[in-house]
Chains A and B, each alone.
Chain A
Amino acid sequence: EAGVTQFPSHSVIEKGQTVTLRCDPISGHDNLYWYRRVMGKEIKFLLHFVKESKQDESGMPNNRFLAERTGGTYSTLKVQPAELEDSGVYFCASTSAGEVETQYFGPGTRLLVL
């Protein structure tokens, strides 16, 4: 069974540009989460999808961040326009409906905004 995958693994962009991160959860997992780790600090929750619906987006830092999960499969996280403080590692995780406490993480996307 394939794990959670994320694309790209790394992205270097300039301030003001747009970047779109993608996450493919484990097949059949209804719950999908986005997290971010900035500059060696703690990993912080961004938002949670149940299928295609946003269950909780309380962690989204501002309106420059837009997450979507059309069709309830993969998800994208767009940052537009990117700022220097957006640099960090963005993790995606998924869980099945029957095992919500065990989150399976992807390898992360390392974003550097110059």
Chain B
Amino acid sequence: GNSVTQMEGPVTLSEEAFLTINCTYTATGYPSLFWYVQYPGEGLQLLLKATKADDKGSNKGFEATYRKETTSFHLEKGSVQVSDSAVYFCALSDLWTGANNLFFGTGTRLTVIP
């Protein structure tokens, strides 16, 4: 079946620190991978995505590379800001199996302190 496992939180970092949030997946087909972010009081927003192996998704200084050999899609940012404080969700969809709903990880809360 399809599932996503992501790093447990919460994560607290100082401003300008390097961020990594680990995400691994299992899938029956050829999934697309996503990172969603939920800022306080808001809905989920798509942060970045990758649709095939070795693709790199990037947005707002965040990056994640689709690694088929390690079934991973780790989120990274070189220098976090206070405004990056949010909950981050790793997710996959597996259109090859005919279902285009998303499978999510548990979410990782990030707090960036000045």
Contact = CB atoms under 8 A, between A and B. Distances in A.
Interface string B59-95: 0000000000000000000000000000001010101
Nearest to B109: A40
Contact of B104 (A3, A43, A48, A108): A43
Contact of B101 (A6, A48, A105, A107): A48
Interface residues of B, number: 24
A40 B36 contact: no
B44 interface: yes
Interface of B: 4, 32, 36, 41-46, 49, 51, 89, 91, 93, 95, 99-107
Nearest to B45: A105
Given A42-B106, A101-B51, 17 more contacts: A6-B43, A35-B104, A40-B107, A42-B104, A42-B105, A43-B102, A43-B104, A44-B104, A56-B99, A59-B101, A91-B43, A91-B44, A100-B95, A101-B32, A101-B95, A104-B46, A107-B42
Interface SS of chain B: helix, strand, loop or mixed? Answer: strand
Interface string A73-110: 00000000000000000010101000011111111100
A81 B11 CA distance: 38
A68 to B, nearest CB: 18
Contacts of A45: 101-103
B93 A41 contact: no
Contacts of B51: 101
A9 to B, nearest CB: 9
A11 to B, nearest CB: 17
Interface of A: 3-4, 6, 31, 33, 35, 37, 40-45, 48, 56, 59, 91, 93, 95, 100-108
B46 A107 contact: no
A60 to B, nearest CB: 12
A40 B106 contact: yes
B36 to A, nearest CB: 7
A106 B4 contact: no
A11 B110 CA distance: 27
Contacts of B107: 37, 40, 42-43
